[in-house]
Amino acid sequence: TGKPMTQLPELAAIQLNDTHPTLGVPELMRILIDEEGLTWDEAWATTTKTFAFTNHTVLPEAMEKWPVPMMDKILPRHMGIIYDINLFFLQSVEERFPNDRELLRNISIIEESNPQQVRMAYLACVGSHKVNGVAAIHSDILKQTIFKDFVRVQGEDKFTNKTNGVSPRRWMNECNPDMSRLITEAVGDRSWVNDLTKLKALESKVDDKDFRQGWWEAKQKNKARLAEYILATTGIKVSPNALFDVQVKRIHEYKRQLLNILGVIYRYHRLKQMPAEERAKELHRVVVFAGKAAAGYWVAKQVIKLINSVAEVVNSDEEIGDVLKVVFIPDYSVTAAEYIIPASDISQHISTAGTEGSGTSNMKFVLNGGIILGTVDGANIEIGEEVGEEQIFFFGCLAHEVDDFRHYLRFHQPKPDEALQAAFDMIQSNTFGDAHIFQPLIDSILRGGDVYLLSVDFPSYVEAHKAVEAAYRQHDDWVTKSILSVSRMAKFSSDRAVQEYAEEIWNIEPVPVGKITV
C-alpha cells in the first residue's frame, strides 16, 4: 500500500488462538525493528495494537512454558526481544507499584525456575491490546485467577468475554436437512441460515400437531441414520427407538468420560440385579462415546480401553438385550459428528465446574434439538439462561466450591457413594477383563485426591439421569423441550461471535459482497 508500517493495525488484526502462536509477538517486533527500521517504541505500539489474545482454557496445556536455554539456542534473536519486552514491562509496573517485588515476580514473562521458563500466556497478554475468554464464567475465572495481577496492572477494560458460537450452515442446514426444512417452513424462507434470531418463529409452532409430529419424525430419522453408521463402523446393532445418550469430545480427565462410563457400569449393575419383568419396564438406552486422546495421554487411553471393555460385555449380555447398549465410535471426525449430533436425545457436557472454557459441541447438540445433561460450567450456563433451565438437566458442584472439595479430598479419604462403590466392585471383580488394567483409574479417585471430583458429583449425576428418563417418558413434554430449545439458541451462532470480535476487538466494518445464496 505504500503506507508506513505504523499503520499496520489499521489494515490488519491478528488474533492469538491460545498460547500456541504467541511467538508471533516477538516475530512481528523482529520484522518491524530489524527489517522495517522502526524504533522500539514505534514497533511495540504497532505490535500491541495489532495483536489480541483468546484464552480457551485454564488448564496447563494452554499455559505453555518453554525453557529459556532451548529458546536461546533455537531462536536467540526472539529470546533477546522477549527479554527486552519483559524488562520494559516490569519497569513500567515498578514505576506505578514501587517496591512490590512479589507483584513483579508474579507477572514476569520469565519464570525464575530452574531452568528459567518463558510464560507464553503472559507474553501473549502483555503483547495484546485485548484478552478474552470464551464464555462468561470462563472469562470471570481468568480475571480472578491466572490474569488477576494483570487486571490490577493493565486495567479491567483490557479483559473481556466473547462467548463461542458455531456455524448454522454446517451444524444445522448441512448436517440436519429434515429439521432444517421444518425450520424453513416455520420461518417462511431460508433466511434463518444467516440470521438465527429468526428461530424464534419456532415458538409459534410448538402447539402445532403436524409440526410436532414432523419434528419427532426428523429426530427419529436421524437416529436411524446414526444406527446404520454405528452398525457399519462398529458392527454393533442398536435400536433407533431407544434414548440416544451421547458424549463426544476430546478424551480428557476434566471432561470426565470416566464419570460417564462409571455411570454406565452402575446402570448395568442395577439392571443385572432386577428381575426380568422389572427390567423389561426400563427405558432402553444407547450410550454413545466418541473422541480422541492425545498420543501420550495414558490416562485418557485407559478410559477408552475401559469404555470398549464395558461395551464388549454389556452388548453381548443376552439378559440385557436392547435395554442398554454401549458404543465407542472410532476415528471421531467432522464427518462422524454430522451423523452423531443430529441424532442425540441427550448429550453430556459434564466437565468439572470451572474447568471448561466454553465448549461448542453443547451448542451444536442443542441447535439440533438435543437436550443437555451437564454441569454448571462453560457455555452450559449461558445456554441454560437462553433456553430456560427447565430445558436443561444440571447437576454437580459449582465452580466456587471446587477448591474446598479438592482440599478436603486431598487430606481425607471419604468412603465413596454406594452407587459409585458398586461400579468399582464390578470393575475389581474382573467383570470387564483384568481388573489390574483399570485399577489406576479407580486409584485416581480413591487415593489420588480425585482432582476432577468424580466422587463428589456422582450421586447428583445418577439423580440427573433419573430425571432425564422421567422426562423422556413424557413424550409431548420432551418434544416441547426440543422445539423451544432450538428456538432460543440464536446467541450461539458463530455469526454473532465473529461480529463481536469484529466490532469490539478488531475494529473492522462489514463490507457488502452482493447477495449471498445458500
Here the cell at position 503 is 466490532
Cβ(184)–Cβ(190) below 8 Å: yes
List the one residue out of 154, 184, 161 whose CA is nearest residue 90: 154
Helix axes 418-428, 257-273, angle to 10 degrees: 90
Cross-strand partners of 243 = 285
Cβ(344)–Cβ(246) below 8 Å: yes
Here the cell at position 167 is 456455524
| Residue 481: how many other CB atoms lie within 10 Å | 22
Exactly one of 249, 285, 349, 481 is catalytic; name it.
249
* Three-state secondary structure string covering 366-410: HHCCCEEEEECCCCHHHHHHHHCHHHEEEECCCHHHHHHHHHHHH
As a whole number of angstroms, the distance between CA 348 and CA 374 comes to: 6
Asked about 119 being catalytic, the answer comes back as no
Asked about 54 being catalytic, the answer comes back as no
Helix (H, G, I), strand (E, B) or coil at 131: strand
Q: Residue 503 is which amino acid? A: E
Cβ(84)–Cβ(25) below 8 Å: no
Exactly one of 56, 119, 205, 256 is catalytic; name it.
56
Length of the chain: 518
- What angle is formed at CA 277 by the lines to CA 271 and CA 278, rounded to 5 degrees? 45
Asked about 49 being catalytic, the answer comes back as no
Exactly one of 78, 119, 364, 481 is catalytic; name it.
364
List the one residue out of 92, 159, 164, 88 whose CA is nearest residue 125: 159
Asked about 6 being catalytic, the answer comes back as no
Exactly one of 250, 269, 270, 301 is catalytic; name it.
250
**How buried is 214 (Cβ within 10 angstroms: 0-12 exposed, 13-18 middle, 19+ buried)?**
middle
Q: Which of the 8 DSSP states describes residue 23?
A: T
Contacts of 342 (CB under 8 A, 6+ apart): 175, 176, 179, 219, 222, 225, 226, 368, 369
State the pairing for strand pair 346-349/243-248.
parallel
Report H helices in 418-474.
418-428, 435-446, 454-473
Exactly one of 119, 143, 255, 325 is catalytic; name it.
255
In which residue are the cell numbers 430425571 written?
467
* First vs last C-alpha separation in the chain: 34
Cβ(143)–Cβ(151) below 8 Å: yes
Asked about 255 being catalytic, the answer comes back as yes
Asked about 130 being catalytic, the answer comes back as no
R_g (Cα) of the chain, nearest Å: 26
Cross-strand partners of 287 = 245, 326
As a whole number of angstroms, the distance between CA 453 and CA 17 comes to: 29
Cβ(46)–Cβ(8) below 8 Å: yes
**Helices and strands (DSSP H and E) totals, the chain:** 24, 13
Catalytic residues: 56, 249-250, 255, 360, 364
